[in-house]
Structure formats: C-alpha cells, structure tokens
Amino acid sequence: MNTQMIPADETRMANAIRALAMDAVQAANSGHPGMPMGMADVATVLFNRFLTLDPAAPDWPNRDRFVLSAGHGSMLLYAINHLLGYDDMEMDQLRAFRQLGSRTAGHPEYGHAKGIEVTTGPLGQGIATAVGMALSERLGEARFGDLIDHFTYVIAGDGCLMEGISHEAIDLAGHLGLGNLIVMWDDNRITIDGATGLSTSTDQEARFAAAGWHVMACDGHDPDRIAAALAEAKADPRPSMIACRTVIGFGAPNKQGSHDVHGAPLGDAEIAAARVRLGWDHPPFEIPEDVLAAWARVAARGARARADWDKRLQASPLKDALNAHLAQDMAPLTAAMAPYKAQLLADKPKVATRKASQMALGVVNAALPFTIGGSADLTGSNLTQTTGQASVKPGDFSGSYIHYGIREFGMAAAMNGIALSGLFRPYGGTFLVFADYARPAIRLAALMGVPSVFVMTHDSIGLGEDGPTHQPVETLASLRAIPNLTVLRPCDALETAEAWEIAMATTDRPVLLALSRQGLPLLRGDADENRTANGAYLLREVADRQVTLIATGSEVEIAVAAADALAAEGIRAAVVSAPSFELFAEQPEACRRAVLGTAPRIGIEAAIRQGWDAVLRQKDAFVGMTGFGASAPAPALYAQFGITAEAVAEKAKSLI
C-alpha cells in the first residue's frame, strides 16, 4: 500500500484536516486524532470530487448526506465544515473543541451546528440511521422524480461494523437495493485495545457481499484509487461498501498505525514531527489561503447545484406536492379527526387500543401523504398497516409501508434517518417489551429531538399466554426515564385517536404509544378537546372526594369499576386517566393540583411502581406489579396479581 504523500491540491486539503485534528485534540487534551488523520484523504476526495452540499443552505432538501458513523473522529467533520465555510463553525469553535458551550462536542451532535446530519455517538447507529436516510431518498424519488436524487455517504470504522446493529442495517439495505448508499469503511485494523485481530476474524467484505452489497477495496491514501472506487459505487444499483485500507494517525511518524494514536492527544513533540512529515509549515489553527480557496471551490460547486435545483423546482409540476411534504401541515388531519372522534362517541366501540390505533391510523394516513409506516415483522399484531397502504419493495418505493423484518433496533434507527430527511414522518411498530432492543435508537431520537413515532403493542401482563418473557412489567418505567420522550398509554379508542393527533403534531421529540392487546370499553363521554394532551385529566369528578384513583391504559377501566364499587358503599372516589406523565408534568402547577386533589391517591397500572412519583406521594398507594408475570389468560393474571377493582376498592378503604 502506498503511504507516501499524495500530489496536488488534495494533499494540502487533506493535511489541513490532519493539522486541525491534531491541534484541536491537543488544545483540549482530549479526543481522537487517529481516525481524522487516517481518513483525511478519503474524506477530501469524497467532498472535493463527489459530495454535493451548500453550506449557505444547509437544509437544502436535495443535498447529499454525509454521516460520520465513527463519531469519535468528530474533528474530521468539524474541520471539513470549517474549511467549507459553514458560518457557525468558525476557528474559535475548533479551538474550543470538547469544551462547555462549544458546538464542537466530543461526538457530532445533531442541532448543535449546521452540517451535522445526525448524532452518531454510540457506534453502529450512524450506519443504521444512514439506511433510513437513503431509504427516504428512494421514497422521495418515487414521488418527486429527479427533484430528489441525492446520495448518502457514510464513514464507518471497525467498531461500527462489530456492533450488532450493523448487521440489521446492511441486511435491510441490501435487501431493498439502496444503490444511493455508499459506506466507506476505515479499514485501519486498530481498535482501542490494539489490533482488530485481538477480537475479530470476520471478513467484512464477504459479509457485505453476502447481504447483497457491491463491495470494493482501495488504498485509502491514494486519491485516484479512492475516486475510482467512489465512481464505481455511484454507478452500481446496489448499496456499496468501499474498504479503504488506511493507516490510523497517518502522518504522525512515531505513532501512526498504532492504537496509541486512537484516543489520546499526540503530544507537542509528535505534532511537530508530524508537521515536518506532512510538509505543513503553519502554526496551530492557521490555514493558508490556497487551501481555503480549494475548499471554497467545493462549497461553490454545491451552491451552483443548489441554484440549478431551485430552478428545476420552480418549473416542476410537482413543486406544490414537494413543498407540502416539506411543510408537513397537520390541518387536514385536524379536520378529518373531528368527525372520526364524533363517530367513536356514537358507536362506543370496545376494542384493544392496538386496534383503535389502526382505526385512527386510517384517518392519519388518508389525511397526510407524508406518513411512512412499518413494523418489525409484527404487522398483524401491531396493526400498523392501513387499508390501501402498499408495501415498499426492492425496486418499487412507491408504497408507504416498510417491512423492517425482525430488526427492532435497525428499524428504530432507520426511522430516525427517515425523520431526519425532512420529507416523511415515520412510525414503526413492535411489542412494548422489545423496546429494550430498540432503546438506543429511541434514546438518540430523544437526544436529537427527532419526531419518530414508536408504536408499541402488547403493553402489559394483559397480553396473557406468551408469558413473562413478553410481559413488559418494567418497560414503561424505563421509557419514562428517557428525557424528551413522550410516552402515551391511552385507555380507549378516543384517547388513542387523541394520542395519534399528539404524535403527528409533535415535531421536537419522539412519541411512543403503548397499546393493549385486550379489548377496552370507551370510557370518555366527550370529545370537545384533546384531553389526552393534558397528560392526565379527571375522567370522573365527585364532590368532596375521599380518594383519587389514578390509572393508565387498560387499568383505567379497573379504576372506574372500583369507583363504582366504592360509590355503592358511600365512598366518594374521583378517577383520573393519566395517559402521559410527561405531558402532565408540562401543565401549570394549579392545573395539576386541581386534577390530583389533596385526598389519598392510588396509582393503578399493570406494571411496577417506579416512575409513579410523577403523580403519587410517598404516603399514597399503588396497585400493580412487584415482579415478573406468568403465562395464562389475561383475566387470570389480573386476578393472580391482584390488579382488580376489588383490590383497588379495598386499598381505598384502608387509606380512608
């Protein structure tokens, strides 16, 4: 492999990345210089010859996407964005690398700075999210032709490919034939512990090929070979993986090729030696004019492409349709939901909330053309596909329903990529207990503020015979612990319709719907306002209440029955339906006090008590689970674990 300096402008363009990475990590006394230095040549060729974006219009819909899946090498992206001229990535931001309040966090954070397409902290999620981005482009192209015709490029490292989610991602991408997805693997054969041979013997090229990818290899320090590989990748109809053989820390004469350069500053002496080795005779954080001009030409090429696209958009008969997708106006849904909810009140259906979700989704999907649904191989259980919703298939992306396969984590990450595209609003389903498989992507959605909608059915011991492995007694508590995630557990068909209104109107965070398997009666008698949006509300009020029964989901029915039993004994019990602790916490304190009252409270949920401190005080009681469930029909389980109206009534009498 050629490890000599490459010729022409690209040499200095790449060395600018290396110098900035060395200097920023050294100034912070923290960071990862090895990957940016090793992949600087690959990234330079990619941006200089292929990738199209406009730093002056960072949200241009048809820009190419660049995903740094190996997010620890964040200085690669920060250096490039500075050199391209993003107006919020000035040199002071690089000097403040990893410091409090800077845009240059240790890993790229979506929303912190322009030109960062996705948060890629945990390894593997970048490549999986990129699958969603590439899929969104294919879906967009099927609807809008050449107005949406960009590529998604990924730089991934050994860690990304070792993580299990990478298998889910590459399998799905290969199956769907996402030819607009190109992954450049930083094949430097080094991990934190040392050589990759310590922990893996996988032939990654064979692995990708087996999943239906187009696979190539190149010298990651030879610009013409890099360019040839990228050109071949763009021309192939399959997703492409380019194994870029690189030297980690390239240019640091005494440390390159070693794990010592992976995650620690090089030190002043090694940086000085590297500057000599690279022929970089410039002080720290100083970039010469010729290099800045070379990178400016990349930005100018992107600006011309964006201007040409704007002209095509203005002349296109699809202009209004595309703008509607981008605007994602919810007014049609509001208009359609009003008569639907009125009909629910008239019909009073007793249905599982998973079925009520499908009913509401029929309204959502008919009103909003930009929804994209799916399920992790549980369509018939999650009920996430509605009438007339065609499946997305290899070679045919005109449908709006994705069969994600048994890939919960991969599905959730791909959904985040679809949401980040800005063209579509994704929702996807699985069982609530399998949220544990998808949790890292749900967490990243919350961290980024991405409006993915997670549809989680079979939400309690009420699923019955599948037993404790499938009964999510602790899952709700763990999900409620994730900041910036709205969890909704509706009690009937009307609350479920309101939950879908909330989910689709929410733009700054993900929403998770926890839905029942068992049928539930309609408990509400009005639909004048979206009461679910309050998080908790008085379903039944009484004068001078003696006890307040607070329940969620399927247990609201139990609370109502308990209140009836107590009333028969002359005990005044109010009933509060609390579909979302998060939304309730956002209400004014006076509103919360009015709902909860001062009387003793009893929380009722077929799950553990943890997390109920949002509405319960230490002296209050809880009727729910204290351990795992069992395999039996749902009624037997509720009786076995004491989650019954009789148990609630007895608890209330003991409190009073």
> Which residues carry out catalysis?
408
As a dihedral over the C-alpha atoms of residue 269, residue 273, residue 276, residue 279, rounded to 10 degrees, the angle is -100
Give CA–CA dist 490/486, Å, rounded: 12
Give CA–CA dist 151/64, Å, rounded: 5
CB 373 within 8 A of CB 427: yes
Q: Which of 621, 618, 607 is nearest to 479 (CA)?
A: 607
CB 67 within 8 A of CB 278: no
Give CA–CA dist 188/194, Å, rounded: 11
Q: Which of 377, 364, 384 is nearest to 455 (CA)?
A: 384
Reduced to 3 states, what is the DSSP secondary structure of residue 202?
A: coil
CB 127 within 8 A of CB 159: no
CB 227 within 8 A of CB 221: no
Instruction: Say which residues have a Cβ less than 8 Å from residue 423's Cβ, sequence separation at least 6.
Output: 61, 136, 139, 140, 148, 325, 326, 370
Half-sphere exposure of 22 (CA within 13 A, CB side): 33
Whole-angstrom CA distances from 573 to 247, 584, 643, 654, 655 are 71, 21, 17, 13, 12
Give CA–CA dist 218/227, Å, rounded: 9
Q: What is the DSSP string of 5-55?
A: PPPSHHHHHHHHHHHHHHHHHHHHT-S--HHHHHSHHHHHHIIIII----T
As a dihedral over the C-alpha atoms of residue 639, residue 640, residue 642, residue 643, rounded to 10 degrees, the angle is -60
